Amino acid sequence: MSLIEVKGLKKNYGDLQAVRGLDLQIEQGEIFSLLGPNGAGKTTTVEILEGFRTRDSGSVSVLGVDPQIKGHESRIWRNRIGIVLQNSADAGDLSVGETVKHFSNYYSNPLDVQEVIHSVGLDEKQGSLIRNLSGGQRRRLDVALGIIGNPELLFLDEPTTGFDPQARRAFWSLIQQLRSDGTTILLTTHYLDEAQALADRVAVINHGQIVEISTPTELGGRATAQATVQWRDGAQIKLEKTDNPTALVSKLSTHFGGEIPELIVTRPSLEDIYLEMIGNPNE
């Protein structure tokens, strides 16, 4: 059985059909990324999976449990999941260290507080009050609070918004480390390079429906899309699209007698493919 199983999920807000019959399966140990434009239904879907919103129809199983359960069973289930919301750290008068320690008490099998603070790069801010942290540092604290409970399943909602490039790379390493430790991760992001770097599979959602589920390299036929070969010929930059870049490069190499000046071979980026899939929002 999959770690997350969603079948025929629907959710309306009045007349608005926010989620319109969504099917999804996420396997143990994978990083699965939800991509989609503003208003596509990602947050609605994720919050149903987290047990924060009710559904109108369809079936949902998360770690073998229906997130709509209540009471004791719900608490046992919550102990097994971690959630990084868009802004969870609200205790402005506590220090970073106190906050992480405080949250660790909610869980039966928490990670080591020092290790978690270290892994999100907040060692030096341990004694600082939360209200004195920068935006990116607060975000790192949110991540620390999401993982302190040593979750089997981690929900990450736009986790790197406001991070500087170095902090993003450090965060990606942390997420890859969690995955190799066996954590399953559902990542919602608007950064296509982040999905490319982290996700085993991505789902593109638009208008409350899945457009496609695939690996980042294969989405929308990306792996077999035409390559663009670019090189310099004298004063000119030449460009050619081809299904057989190797043959073209080989021909050029013979032509130039070895090194091809300023050679670049590219295929459409995940962002190119994604934008093509979701179409023009004004159409």
- Closest approach, Cβ 76 to ligand ATP, in A, equals 27
Q: How far apart are CA 82 and CA 149, in angstroms?
A: 7
CB of 46 to ligand ATP, least distance (A): 8
Nearer to ligand ATP (CB atom), residue 52 or residue 106 = 52
Nearer to ligand ATP, 19 or 113 (CB): 19
Distance between CA atoms of residues 10 and 13, nearest Å: 10
CB of 131 to ligand ATP, least distance (A): 26
- Give the largest CA-CA distance in the chain: 74
Q: Which residues would be at the binding site for ligand ATP (CB under 6 A)?
A: 13, 16, 18, 36, 38-44
CB of 70 to ligand ATP, least distance (A): 21
3-state secondary structure of 57: strand
Choose between 17 and 230: whose C-beta lies nearer to ligand ATP. Answer: 17
In DSSP notation, 172-236 reads HHHHHHHHHTT-EEEEE-S-HHHHHHH-SEEEEEETTEEEEEE-TTTGGGGGGSPEEEEEEETTE
**Closer of 41 and 110 to ligand ATP (Cβ):** 41
Least separation in angstroms between CB 47 and ligand ATP: 8
End-to-end CA distance of the chain: 40
Closer of 55 and 125 to ligand ATP (Cβ): 55
Strands 264-266 vs 227-233: parallel, antiparallel or unpaired = antiparallel
d(CA 103, CA 86): 17
DSSP 72-94: HHHHHHHTTEEEE-SS----TTS
At closest approach, how far in Å is the CB of 34 from ligand ATP? Answer: 8
Which residue minimizes CB distance to ligand ATP?
43
The minimum distance between CB 212 and ligand ATP, in angstroms, equals 16
With respect to ligand ATP, which residue has the nearer C-beta, 161 or 176? 161
Residue 21 CA neighbour count, 13 Å, CB half:
1
Please state whether 39 falls in left (phi above 0), alpha (psi between -120 and 50) or beta: left
